[in-house]
Structure 1
């Protein structure tokens, strides 16, 4: 996969997904006032 400029992205899809999940979990934890955990087997966020 390449950017519109023809250059390679700075990270792959898997790395981008991991970063997006981390940011999403942080936001949810802050707004809900709860700890969030990542279940890698189910690929879902669980509340602590």
Structure 2
């Protein structure tokens, strides 16, 4: 009885992990879209002076 209980727990653990990996995402990230660029444009001459 103990071995069958251990095998059942291992099977449940692996199947829950597989359902979490291959299931639909449940992330609650906001929809951001395209963000405008607010930095300085790259200038080749000034970036090489470091």
- Asked whether the two chains share a fold, i.e. TM above 0.5, the reply is no
Larger Rg: 2
More relative contact order, 1 or 2 (CA 8 Å, 6+ apart) = 1
TM-score using structure 2 length:
0.43
TM-score using structure 1 length:
0.45
* Greater share of residues in strand: 1
